[in-house]
Amino acid sequence: MPAAAGRAPARRPRIGLVAGGLGAYWPQFPGLLPQLRRSAARVADRMGEFDADVVDAGFVSDAQEGAQAAEKLRAAGCDLIVGFLTTYMTATMLVPVAQRSGAPVLLINLQPTEAMDHATFDTGQWLAYCGACPLPEMANAFERVGVEFRSVSGHLEDERAWRRIGGWIRAAGVRGALRSSRHGLMGHLYPGMYDVSTDLTMVPASFGGHVEVLEFDDLRVRVEGVGQKETAARVAEIEETFELDASVDEDDLAWAARVSAGLDRLVDDFGLDSLAYFHRGLDGEVHERLGAGMILGASLLTARGVPAAGEYELRTSLAMLICERLGAPGSFTEFQALNFRDGVVEMGHDGPAHLGLGGRRPLLRGLGVYHGKRGWGVSVECTARHGPVSLVGVGQTRDGRYRLVAAEGRAVPGPLLKIGNTTSRVDFGCDPGEWTDAWSASGVGHHWALATGELLPGLRALAGLSGLELTEVRPG
């Protein structure tokens, strides 16, 4: 759709690769090293198939070569180091790599085929299958030097193993993107929402990145610079993207289009990767009109990969960005009602939606009043496509730390509200009331991201790489 045409490209992760084996074997078994180098070349080829930039430090045979590889990978600024254990190798060969790079390390043990030919193999041929042997040694050494341990074992053409490797690479990309992201926070806290209030310092402490504190006047001056031609072009784009309900007022649509164009300028000028906003305003003055006119532009921004959340919900805009970087559209969400007759939880939100949820063509509805908020204008109505969905939130604990909170369910068909809200019906496979109590007890806060697809594997990997706690809320 046109709204996604200008989607911001995701940052490609930089993956360091080093393979190795014990050099004492090479003179003993002349055919072993060439075979292991072929395996290392195959791994490098497969790594190149992921959406990542691969820095190959080559093949190491002793501690000195390991130290040289460590320096090369340290200088490369990698998001993840992949160490390929082709056969037995000592911990001294990889500990420098793990310690000096400053990046998380994934060890992979991929033997040549599914199993050895026991009847014909000699010692040299067996050693090519011996990558599992050093794994416990590496785990023990990493624990003792203070490096997190993670590994994937399989064989060279084991697609299950490669899916797991790809998951770690994708999570490293999300971690890297967060570490370099810029998050806009514009306006002020919705009065009384203690759960939304957050310590801005915890954003760089937990994820890295930068929080840019903005005023609504930063938006005002940019909206004032939007002319009639640009507004008309944005209206045409909107009419192509959305179904327009008869309740949409022409002047309200033009204002929302103008605010949308100004919002794009704001995001570009400040180099933002996400945005959270709220402003109350009074008596129809310009700041109230700007706040009320944000829904459409924020939805278009979200659709092109710059998540925007209302009600000053910085942690939810972060959760939406995590979903986006994991490859799934994440939409601003809260509880709406429980449907005990159908066994579903109804959830969504007024305000910005993710147009990529895919359950229907998004609809614009005109509203004379926004519930609980100042102003009037147009609002976005859409729903998640039927099938697996994930909920992703960022909670903040008593001691200030951020943690991820997540759950999986299924979006199912059924009646939806027609009040200008994004709404989805989610079945969690248990009593809706019991599930709601469990979700609320997680400390997530009353907003989160709802995304299509199953994201728990990626979230587990992200939590493992980032050192964040992950709370998984499950039925029962």
Claim to verify: residue 187 and residue 220 sit in the same structural domain: yes
What's the structural domain count of the chain? 2
pLDDT at site 376: 78
pLDDT at site 282: 86
pLDDT at site 10: 62
Claim to verify: residue 151 and residue 276 sit in the same structural domain: no
Is there a domain that residue 150 lies in? Answer: yes
Q: Tell me the pairing of strands 14-20 and 53-60.
A: parallel
**Domain holding 190: CATH number?**
3.20.14
Is there a domain that residue 2 lies in? Answer: no
Last residue of a domain, one of 178, 204, 238: 178
Claim to verify: residue 256 and residue 217 sit in the same structural domain: yes
The Cα 427–Cα 76 span in angstroms is 45
pLDDT at site 2: 35
Claim to verify: residue 162 and residue 232 sit in the same structural domain: no
Is there a domain that residue 289 lies in? Answer: yes
**Domain holding 162: CATH number?**
3.40.50.10940
Claim to verify: residue 311 and residue 253 sit in the same structural domain: yes
Q: pLDDT of the chain along its 476 residues, tens only? A: 333 334 445 678 999 999 999 999 999 999 999 999 999 999 999 998 998 999 999 999 999 999 999 999 999 999 999 999 999 999 999 999 999 988 999 999 999 999 999 999 999 999 999 999 999 999 999 999 999 999 999 999 999 999 999 999 999 999 999 999 999 999 999 998 999 998 899 999 999 999 999 999 999 999 999 999 999 999 999 999 999 999 999 999 999 999 999 999 999 999 999 999 999 888 889 999 999 899 999 999 999 999 999 999 999 999 999 999 999 999 999 999 999 999 999 999 987 899 999 989 999 999 877 776 777 789 999 999 999 999 999 999 888 899 999 999 999 999 998 888 899 999 999 999 999 999 999 999 999 999 999 999 999 999 999 999 999 998 76
Is there a domain that residue 5 lies in? Answer: no
pLDDT at site 419: 87
Is there a domain that residue 192 lies in? Answer: yes
Claim to verify: residue 240 and residue 144 sit in the same structural domain: no
Last residue of a domain, one of 178, 204, 226: 178
Is there a domain that residue 1 lies in? Answer: no
pLDDT at site 157: 96
Q: Tell me the pairing of strands 402-411 and 363-367.
A: unpaired
Is there a domain that residue 149 lies in? Answer: yes
Q: Which domain holds residue 163?
A: 10-178
Query: Using a CB cutoff of 8 Å and minimum separation of 24, what contacts does 465-470 make?
Result: 465/80, 465/104, 465/168, 465/171, 465/172, 465/175, 466/175, 466/178, 466/206, 466/207, 467/148, 468/206, 468/402, 468/403, 468/404, 469/401, 469/403, 469/404, 470/403, 470/404, 470/405, 470/406
Last residue of a domain, one of 136, 162, 178: 178
Claim to verify: residue 80 and residue 222 sit in the same structural domain: no
Note the pTM of the prediction, 2 decimals: 0.92
The Cα 387–Cα 453 span in angstroms is 8
Is there a domain that residue 420 lies in? Answer: yes
Claim to verify: residue 349 and residue 361 sit in the same structural domain: yes
